[in-house]
Chains A and B, each alone.
Chain A
Amino acid sequence: MRALLAVVERDFRYFLRYRWWIAGMVSMNLADLFIMALVYARMTNPDVVVDYFVFFAPGLTVTAAFAAAFMIGREVNMELRREVTHYMLSLPIERWKLAAGRVISGGIRGVAYVAPLLATTLAITNAYTGRLPTPPELLTVLAVLSSLCLGTSGLSIALALSTKSFEKYVTARSVVYYALFFCSTVFYPLSLVERVFPPLAIPARLNPVSCGADLSRALLLGWAEPTPFMLVDVLLYALVFGLLAASSYARTTRK
């Protein structure tokens, strides 16, 4: 257990080393939230989005969670290229603990990053709707975001392990990133996707990022009922990619 904690601690320390970069990211995200959404709220058709600003806030939280949890892949890929992985593999830790530790730390990093954004979002949604989520609702949002972060950490590690050269990794990362966000309900509701580009409706509905965003919206704004499907979708995402990444870390790193 101590070894697993140490693995998580190491990844978290590297995360904090980037604190200025993270601070930059947070403030950029917040600026996005305030400026862009305010502008969009005036431009968008009220039929489509009742109030884009409020709509966008939870979506942005999910975006931030995803981005922060996705960072671990970059580090795993770099370790692989610089053969720091050799060091990690030589440590007196059971392989599964090392692998699980890496995936879990990616998830924790995402949650840590998103916490201040979530608080801001709460303040905003409360100001607009006068509504505060109940403690169980809030816990569910946290659980959903944690699952999303865990799955994303797994996804990024799996990606990092399967593309050894940095160029390939960066390309793969961008493709996955844009596909997941473009084809989601983070920036626009599903009804818009269905109207504008129907073939994307099903992937957008299945996309765990959409489910995470929609669940957060449902719970924070009280606009819609959270469906069990969304919850299961996000949990499955965490389970599948968490396990996939951990097992491929344990398997493929020792050639």
Chain B
Amino acid sequence: MAPIIRMVGLTKRFGGFTAVDRLDLEVEEGEILGLLGPNGAGKTTTILMLATVLKPTEGTVYIGPYDVTKEADKARRLVGVAFQEPKLLWVDSPWSVLNWHAKVCGLPSGERRRRIRWVLEELGIWDVRFKSAHSLSGGTRKRVEVAKILVQRPKIAIFDEPTAQVDVVGKHKIWGMIRELRDEGSTIILATNELHEADVLSQRIAIMHRGKLLVCDEPRRLKDSIPGGDVVEVSFEGGVPEMVTEELRRIPTVVEVSAARQNQVKIYLNRAEEALPRIAELLLRLGLQAKSMRVSEPSLDDVFAHYTGLTIEEAQRR
């Protein structure tokens, strides 16, 4: 399918500081693209440029056929953003915020009421719909912010950290509703610094760090791309015979074998699922009894660390 969003050398500088640095990235129509990166990576700034809120310093982004630097009014019509910081004034109630938002987006009044009720009920905030924002918890305000876009159902829906401050039940609800929106045909950009969120929701993940795009691919392939990213741990009843490690190293996808403890080896390899039968076969041939065998795949954190030398948590702290 053709890309519906095309960033071309997209750059934003604030004074001398480059917040977004020559981003080249395409988003396919109908996919959920995770924009993953630690705080300060430039996710929000990128989103604000897509939404025609900020002007690119250099480069541009095409929203559908429209160049945001030339036809911002038209580009904007295709996009809806649920912001990282809920944009509610203290005196607003969830109902009035959503009703006004839907009205500006051109929804007729019957449809408006129907959709707002449905979204508020799904997100469990129907009962507080007439309370003013200052009496609502952070998590509730965040839900209202997300609800705006779930009511609007724009062609391109952007969620900036949609579940920050939201409890586990709420998180799963929101994820489900984002998927539903995608299934109806919307294209979704999901900015997050939560690995799990990006992993479970996205078809593709773009990893950003210090304004730059490090890599963009399917989560599965990102993980596979780390040499020796998969780990198989085998524990034995007794000690580990020397020749086992030698033999294991000969399996094609194995990158490294180390004796972690006296009676355990750690095998670093790619595509563990393909190598497992061969490992089992080898052990059988050598007459070795394995006590346990555990496979773990790399996390996105490992992917991030592979590209930056830092875990996301370390990067957040910088």
Binding site for B on A (CB under 8 A): 2-3, 6-7, 9-10, 13-14, 17, 79, 82-84, 86-87, 89-95, 254-255
Contacts and interface: CB of A to CB of B under 8 A. Distances in A.
B253 interface: no
B77 interface: yes
B53 A86 contact: yes
A6 B167 CA distance: 34
A16 B203 CA distance: 46
Interface stretch (B98-106, B121-129, B266-274, B284-292): B98-106
B18 interface: no
Contact of B72 (A3, A82, A95): A95
A90 B53 contact: yes
B85 interface: yes
B135 interface: no
Interface string B69-106: 00011001101110101010101000010001101111
A61 B48 CA distance: 43
Contacts of B91: 14, 17
A92 B76 contact: yes
Contacts of A17: 91
B85 A90 contact: no
B54 interface: yes
A94 B77 CA distance: 9
A6 B104 contact: yes
Nearest to B55: A254
List 8 A-B pairs, minimum CB-CB distance, nearest first. Answer: A87-B87, A90-B51, A92-B77, A89-B53, A94-B73, A6-B104, A17-B91, A86-B53
B245 to A, nearest CB: 57
A9 B96 CA distance: 12
A93 B52 contact: no
Interface in B59-74: 72-73
26 contacts: A2-B103, A2-B106, A3-B106, A9-B103, A10-B100, A79-B89, A84-B87, A84-B89, A86-B53, A86-B83, A87-B81, A87-B87, A89-B52, A90-B51, A90-B79, A90-B80, A91-B104, A91-B105, A92-B76, A92-B104, A92-B105, A94-B73, A95-B73, A254-B52, A255-B54, A255-B55
Contact of B100 (A6, A83, A84): A6
Contacts of A92: 76-77, 79-80, 104-106, 154
B119 to A, nearest CB: 18
Given A6-B104, A91-B105, 6 more contacts: A2-B103, A3-B106, A87-B87, A90-B53, A91-B104, A92-B106
Contacts of B53: 86, 89-90, 254
Contact of A90 (B52, B73, B89, B96): B52
A152 B153 CA distance: 38
A93 B101 CA distance: 11
Contacts of A79: 89
Contact of A14 (B72, B89, B101, B103): B89
B104 A93 contact: yes
A6 B52 contact: no
A223 B88 CA distance: 50
A94 B72 CA distance: 8
B104 A3 contact: yes
Nearest to A75: B89
Contacts of B89: 14, 79, 82, 84
